Structure 1
Amino acid sequence: MAATAAVAVACGAPAEEPAPEAPHGYVAGAEETAEVQSRLVVADAAGAVRVLDLATEEVVEAGRVDGVGSVTGDGRHAYLASDDGSVRIVDSGSWTVDHGDHTHYYRAAVREVGSVPGADPVAVHADQAVTALALADGTVALLDRARLDEGAVVELATIPRTPHRGPAVPYEGHVLASVAEPGQQFGSGVAVHDRAGAPVATIDEPCPALEGAAVTRRGVVFGCADGALLVSGSDGAFAGEKIPYPQAVTADERVREFRHRPGSALLTARAGEAGIWALDVTARTWTRHDTGPVAAVNSAGAGTALLTLTADGVLHALDPASGAELAATPLLTAPVAPGVRIEVDTSRAYVNDPAAGVIHEIDYADALRVARTFDLGGTPSRMVETGR
């Protein structure tokens, strides 16, 4: 009787319903939005770190980092290099996930993630799976990006290299890292590593005195003494293509750092005291404009003006083909402080003004009109835009 009753109860019990599937694009703890949620992570000269929400104008305190030498972003996180050699990581709470045929935009709370002690980074690059910290001793630390998103710093692997200063860039399921001969300060070529840090291939095309790297939809671009090296790949196969300078350049005039809107195939760089470079990666062409020295340069991409900030504090918009001035706006008090940057997105540019203690928002499509000015308090000496 007991057995019969048990069977009856089991047969009469309702079937357990499967848990509902999470909707496409769902991210726990985040709000999906209809448009980009841009934010600025700003480091103060006195050590304060703040995150400015460009949609709401809300300012969130994000801890302290003393002696910030650089601030780099991966679209969501900011990596702040301290003068003690460590790297502090701040989650800005805004990011974009690009699936190629469609895009998701997210916002969440700002939080301090943690730090990598004794890192002394030369460059920081990331994709959706891995963050690569290229360190001054040549080592590359590979961090788990998913765990960073969850608020934890977890090292997946390291790539040991001959000591030199050179970048490492996650790309197409691998990591592209500069390689150098013993005694060289900078790299001379690029090697391909798997996500466990093991070398799997070497790019045949050399890149002497490698400095600077940028990720575009056409591939990863590295700055070389004789031009640029474009590395592209798919299905585990990688190839390099040299884009030589159109003329002889001095060591002072060569590219050392690329500036561009994330994803854009139009890269800009300073050309020493001579002026600026524009590299159209799609067309594989360089253009140099002899503007004289600039403190900062950037561009929103093809079809938009080149933006330069000169030492007298004037912001200029230049025709990308001819270099002719399209507009100019006095913006900062001269002399322009080190660390001033031009950050760009698809509609606005942002320039930090340490002397005035503010950040200027520029409508670069409207004759460099100052759209808004943000007073965060303190001295905004370094910044990076996230959410893109």
Structure 2
Amino acid sequence: MKLKAVTAVVAALTLAACGGEQPKEVTPEVPHGYVEGAEEAAEAQSRLIVADSDTGAVRVVDLITEEVHEVGRVDGVRAVTGDGRFGYLTAGDGTIRVIDSGSWMVDHGDHVHYYRAKVRDVGVAPGKQLSAAYSDPAVSALSYSDGTTTLLDRAALDKGTVTELGKITHAGVAIPYGEHIIATVTDDGKPFARGVRVHDRQGKAVAEIDQPCPELRGQAVTRRGVVFGCADGALLVTEKDGAFAGAKIPYPRSVTAQERATAFFHRPGGATLAARAGDSAVWSLDVGRRSWQYVETGPVAAVNAVGEGGPLLVLTRDGKLRSFDSAGKEQTAIPLLTPEGTAAGAATIQVDSTRAYLNNPLSAEVYEIDYNDNLRRARTLKVGGKAGHIVETGR
């Protein structure tokens, strides 16, 4: 009986397919978060873009497989800036080379997608002397030292093409945020920005944040909003239902021009920021609690913040990496570089959700540090040439 039933069903389907109405072709459903030409992974596919300041050689290091990809040369390379996927390398003549690391994440708020693809050299971006680069899924904003920002089509960039959408003229940086662009503004003839303005994605100004930010220097993008450094503290810009607002986070005391924060460092998305406070101390800014902490560390070469509940990481000029707890008390110190290795100012601390990476500008070594285990050196990565400049992607 069962065999007859199956035979009857097959026969009926065959007749239906051969005569009368033809069956409709089924289109495969596109998975949520799908990106053409990329492989989705269950965990972060972190990579390092590494540039040799002596030879200009550019390499991408896969932090999972330790495979090193050679990606050409950038003559006189003197800086590397990243936006989570792309590295923007400033050459000796000021031109900007764009490198696709082939590693990135897409944050949907309640969940995250991780992707990996081929490493490639995208080409040269418009403009010279890059000062900052920030992106969202639609726009990449490249800000230059002459006070202008070029807006690039991010979808085109993902496919390997540099396509300009518009420009913004201002006095510092522009940051895609809340489906708009937050850009600094200045008065004619003034050396520093005084506040921030909201633009649409083509660069047209649509609103101005009413909170002033005198002598604006330094910025960071966090899950709680965009932070700007001001002479009197920090300005936090947030967005809700298309409306933008600014709130000040004043310093706990009067600070000198040398003590104020002018550049912020943090784990991508993290809401705890670190900044130098003169030569021998560091500011820790808890954006969630809207509070500052002054931490005496000794002479500072590099700094970064792990995030809420995590340590403050400081490379001091004696070559030691030090960690400080939320109360500003030193927990651990380990030797990593020589004093000469910190003197060039090229050593940086890159931080992700489990590890920190610190480059030795005088050698081919990058040190992977487990900051949750007394700064244990988990790996020493050999990248070839000299690890003059690094930036992590895929976070």
What TM-score, normalized by structure 1, do the two folds share? 0.94
Helix, strand or coil for the counterpart of 1:148?
A: helix
How far does the alpha carbon of each residue in 1:116-146 deviate from its partner, in whole angstroms, 9 at most, with x for none?
A: 1432212111111111111122111001111
- Looking at structure 2, the residues matched to 68 and 180 of structure 1 have their Cα atoms a distance apart, in angstroms, of 30
What is residue 4 of structure 1 aligned with on the other side?
none
* Aligned residues between the structures: 376
- Looking at structure 2, the residues matched to 83 and 248 of structure 1 have their Cα atoms a distance apart, in angstroms, of 39
What is residue 294 of structure 1 aligned with on the other side?
300
- Asked whether the 8 Å contact 1:360–1:374 carries over to 2, the reply is yes
How far does the alpha carbon of each residue in 1:22-79 deviate from its partner, in whole angstroms, 9 at most, with x for none?
A: 1222222111111011100011111011000000000001121122232111111111
Alignment match of 1:231 (pick from 213, 237, 248): 237
Alignment match of 2:270 (pick from 261, 264, 268): 264
How far does the alpha carbon of each residue in 1:142-163 deviate from its partner, in whole angstroms, 9 at most, with x for none?
A: 01111111111111111123xx
What is residue 378 of structure 2 aligned with on the other side?
371
What is residue 182 of structure 1 aligned with on the other side?
188
Answer yes or no: is 1:381 the counterpart of 2:378. no
Look up the equivalent residue of 1:82 and give its one-letter code: A
Report matched runs for 1:1-388 at 5 Å: 12=20, 14-45=22-53, 46-161=55-170, 164=171, 166-321=172-327, 323-335=328-340, 336=342, 337-388=344-395
- Asked whether the 8 Å contact 1:84–1:118 carries over to 2, the reply is no
- Asked whether the 8 Å contact 2:168–2:203 carries over to 1, the reply is yes
**Offset of 1:13 from its aligned partner?**
7.1
Greater CA deviation, 186-195 or 331-340?
A: 331-340
- Asked whether the 8 Å contact 1:178–1:191 carries over to 2, the reply is yes
Look up the equivalent residue of 1:34 and give its one-letter code: A
- Looking at structure 2, the residues matched to 273 and 136 of structure 1 have their Cα atoms a distance apart, in angstroms, of 24
Structure 2 unaligned regions, length at least 5: 1-16
How far does the alpha carbon of each residue in 1:239-266 deviate from its partner, in whole angstroms, 9 at most, with x for none?
A: 1101011111111111111000001100
- Looking at structure 2, the residues matched to 120 and 16 of structure 1 have their Cα atoms a distance apart, in angstroms, of 56
Look up the equivalent residue of 1:204 and give its one-letter code: D
- Looking at structure 1, the residues matched to 369 and 378 of structure 2 have their Cα atoms a distance apart, in angstroms, of 6
- Looking at structure 2, the residues matched to 117 and 104 of structure 1 have their Cα atoms a distance apart, in angstroms, of 30
Structure 1 or 2, whichever has the larger Rg, is 2
- Asked whether the 8 Å contact 1:296–1:342 carries over to 2, the reply is yes
- Asked whether the 8 Å contact 2:127–2:144 carries over to 1, the reply is no
Structure 1 unaligned regions, length at least 5: 1-8
**Offset of 1:294 from its aligned partner?**
0.6
- Looking at structure 2, the residues matched to 241 and 261 of structure 1 have their Cα atoms a distance apart, in angstroms, of 22
Helix, strand or coil for the counterpart of 2:127?
A: coil
How far does the alpha carbon of each residue in 1:67-114 deviate from its partner, in whole angstroms, 9 at most, with x for none?
A: 223211111111111221211111111111111111111111101111
Helix, strand or coil for the counterpart of 1:125?
A: strand
**Offset of 1:19 from its aligned partner?**
2.5
Helix, strand or coil for the counterpart of 2:384?
A: coil
What is residue 13 of structure 2 aligned with on the other side?
none
- Looking at structure 2, the residues matched to 32 and 122 of structure 1 have their Cα atoms a distance apart, in angstroms, of 32
Helix, strand or coil for the counterpart of 1:249?
A: coil
**Offset of 1:379 from its aligned partner?**
1.1
How far does the alpha carbon of each residue in 1:203-242 deviate from its partner, in whole angstroms, 9 at most, with x for none?
A: 1111111111111111000011111000001222111101
- Asked whether the 8 Å contact 2:297–2:314 carries over to 1, the reply is no
Q: CA RMSD in A?
A: 1.5
What is residue 5 of structure 1 aligned with on the other side?
none
What is residue 3 of structure 1 aligned with on the other side?
none
Look up the equivalent residue of 1:379 and give its one-letter code: K
**Offset of 1:10 from its aligned partner?**
11
- Looking at structure 1, the residues matched to 193 and 248 of structure 2 have their Cα atoms a distance apart, in angstroms, of 15
Helix, strand or coil for the counterpart of 2:357?
A: strand
Helix, strand or coil for the counterpart of 1:147?
A: helix
Helix, strand or coil for the counterpart of 2:256?
A: coil
- Looking at structure 1, the residues matched to 260 and 252 of structure 2 have their Cα atoms a distance apart, in angstroms, of 12
Helix, strand or coil for the counterpart of 1:211?
A: coil
**Offset of 1:181 from its aligned partner?**
0.9
- Asked whether the 8 Å contact 1:253–1:274 carries over to 2, the reply is no
**Offset of 1:355 from its aligned partner?**
1.6
Look up the equivalent residue of 2:127 and give its one-letter code: G
Helix, strand or coil for the counterpart of 1:118?
A: strand
Helix, strand or coil for the counterpart of 1:22?
A: coil
**Offset of 1:293 from its aligned partner?**
2.3
Look up the equivalent residue of 2:350 and give its one-letter code: E
Helix, strand or coil for the counterpart of 2:339?
A: coil
Look up the equivalent residue of 2:218 and give its one-letter code: G
- Looking at structure 1, the residues matched to 323 and 168 of structure 2 have their Cα atoms a distance apart, in angstroms, of 41
Helix, strand or coil for the counterpart of 2:175?
A: strand
Look up the equivalent residue of 1:72 and give its one-letter code: T
